Structure 1
Amino acid sequence: MTLLCVLLLSANPNAPETWHRYEFQRIRMGIPVKISLYATDDDTAKHAAQAAFARFKQLDRILSDYDPDSELMQLCARAGSDRDIPVSQDLKVVLEHSLRVSRKTDGAFDVTVGPLVKLWRKARRKRQLPTAEALTEARAAVGYESVVLDAQSSKVRLIKPNMRLDLGGIAKGYTADQALGEMKKHGVSRALIDAGGDIVVGDPPPGKDGWRIGMAPLQKRDGPPSRFVTLKNAGIATSGDAWQFVEIDGQRYSHIIDRQTGYGLTERSSVTVIAADGITSDALASAVSVLGVERGLALIEKTCGTSALIVTLEEDQPVVHASKAFPADE
């Protein structure tokens, strides 16, 4: 765990605290997780960050679809068994939220796309499209309607054989929320957690209105931010194909899968969603990517406490579409 401390005096000259800025980074869930926080002493900062990273590690063992021993994969191994499987509180909460978003988006967000995701991971490695037969077989195992969750007993049944859940569109947001909660238990509420682009922020830095967050441009993934927003006590997530995609026979396919077609999205876009927490911003960013501009913005406008910015390419030029509540550029 790396640490950087920068002294920052409180904007209020009568305030007794002297704030310090600390930055930590570790690899969690296969990605760099960065934490920026403000505390009044080293021990408080270190203990809070350690607790946050420990929560990331704990949840990765529950929610990962890469680890065959994770709770999620153990549940999937029992798909089609006609058995109700007890699940942990964390997995239950994530599945509850996932199913709620699935119903709201008519399946544009669907954590049962795991069989299709597995095919497209192979496609990216081999740079070869899945066969029609493989797509048909995978699609037969997809459908959030075949996930039966009894929230009261915390039991889940996966009705179809070969179902495979993939929480890649929601797990990072939930985990960042949980990590921030752990930091607050250790006396740190002025914090930002960046989990591979899924960002959760708590109270603002001392003397500031919020955390200033830069949004990467659609066409240049390593370029300077194209826009800035200032947030506090919120989640912000961006979904798009800037980093994960494959080009096959001249066509670019995103890692984001449309369950209706079984294919990765082919229209270039970047979707940024702001919500009250990370689990909501993460899931809705994925859903809006699949829904497209018109239906995606309609979803956001009727979802309380959310806003979105969608950037598309038209004749190789970025076109910006924003919901009514999305913050103006700074």
Structure 2
Amino acid sequence: MGTTFRIILYATEEEVARRAAQAAFNRIAALDEIMSDYKSTSELMRLCQAFATEVGPPVRVSDDLFTVLTAAERLSRRSEGAFDVTVGPLSLLWRHARRTQELPAPQELAAARAKVGYDKVRLDPVRQTVQLTVPGMRLDLGGIAKGYAADQALQLLREEYGLSRALVAAWGDIACGDPPPTETAWRVQIAPIAAAHKPRFLNLSQAAVSTSGDLEQFVVIGGVRYSHVLDPRTGMGLTGRRSVTVIAPRGIDADSLTKAVSVLPVEQALRLIAETPGAAAYIALLDEATGEVREIASPRFAQFLAEPDKK
């Protein structure tokens, strides 16, 4: 999935902790073999390969892959396409753009966009099959798979080893179980959008948080800064400095919602969050000309804020 996972857990026996951590990492590795778009042998890429040149019959997929694709389709509809895992052809163009420092050619962008659209994926929950209705489509689960993997690792630790006091972090995606023994919550810092901007701290328990933005992943072409987050509807990397943090009961939701909230206009994004049970959002907008940061938060966000001066 193109990132590093970290696990923090509490156990009374060191050997149990070792076995549990290894099992959780094995589960994450197994999910990487299913959902990575960096590996040609992954189940996801083999699914895309089945429709590389023609629209063949539906393909039966694993429980994990079908679960993630179903969740992705649901959010795509709710966000009116602001979140869309069919952006794979566009992702490839922008990976090349970051290497060459050149924008995708208009004809390349048009050809890639013709293969993008969540309505081009057909899911059959009865047969658990997937069909891509345009040849050459490519799915990219980078905006949802990490959160799902963190959820699954936490679930394994809790259900198979009885270790509920744990945290799983996958770069900007963190899933929290019960807090450490002497604490009432896990303390998580949101990276500030600018060095001069004060950080925010969260108290989380049995919740997940995800932060997305262009703080570290971006490309500057022709004096314009383009984020690695793409708008599936235009095919372009986002411009304008925006950092989005979403809290939700599950990692799969927090992970994917950050991408939708990053793409949507602020008012529409806040409506999406308000309609999601247990979700909260914090948006920081940086004016690069003045250095000023505008902060916007959904009403539920305040309940997760922690005091900044606490150790």
| Deviation digits for residues 200-227 of structure 1 (CA, Å, limit 9, x no counterpart) | 010111131110001100124xx99701
Q: What TM-score, normalized by structure 2, do the two folds share? A: 0.94
Correspondent of 1:244 among 217, 237, 245? 217
Aligned to 1:306: 279
Correspondent of 1:328 among 294, 305, 308? 305
Q: Which amino acid aligns with 2:173?
A: D
For 1:135-150, what aligned pairs fall within 5 Å after superposition?
A: 135-150=109-124
Check whether the contact 1:44–1:187 (CA below 8 A) recurs between aligned residues.
Answer: no
Q: What TM-score, normalized by structure 1, do the two folds share? A: 0.89
Correspondent of 2:293 among 293, 308, 318? 318
Structure 1 distance, partners of 2:291, 2:186, is 32
Secondary structure in 2 matching 1:217:
coil
1:64 and 2:41 are equivalent in the alignment: no
Check whether the contact 1:213–1:230 (CA below 8 A) recurs between aligned residues.
Answer: yes
Secondary structure in 2 matching 1:77:
helix
1:122 and 2:91 are equivalent in the alignment: no
In the alignment of these two chains, the number of paired residues is: 300
More strand by share: 1
Structure 2 distance, partners of 1:246, 1:298, is 30
Q: Which amino acid aligns with 2:71?
A: H
For 1:262-281, what aligned pairs fall within 5 Å after superposition?
A: 262-281=235-254
Give 1:294 shift: 1.5
Give 1:256 shift: 0.7
**4+ runs deviating over 4 angstroms:** none
For 1:221-260, what aligned pairs fall within 5 Å after superposition?
A: 226-260=199-233
Structure 2 distance, partners of 1:207, 1:248, is 49
Structure 2 distance, partners of 1:243, 1:170, is 19
Aligned to 1:86: 60
The CA RMSD measured in Å over matched residues stands at 1.3
For 1:148-227, what aligned pairs fall within 5 Å after superposition?
A: 148-184=122-158, 185-220=160-195, 226-227=199-200
Higher RCO, 1 or 2 (CA under 8 Å, sep at least 6)? 2
Q: Which amino acid aligns with 2:265?
A: G
| Deviation digits for residues 77-121 of structure 1 (CA, Å, limit 9, x no counterpart) | 122423100100000000000000000000000000100010000
- Structure 2 residues without counterparts, runs of 5 or longer: none
Q: Which moved more, 1:307-316 or 1:166-175?
A: 307-316
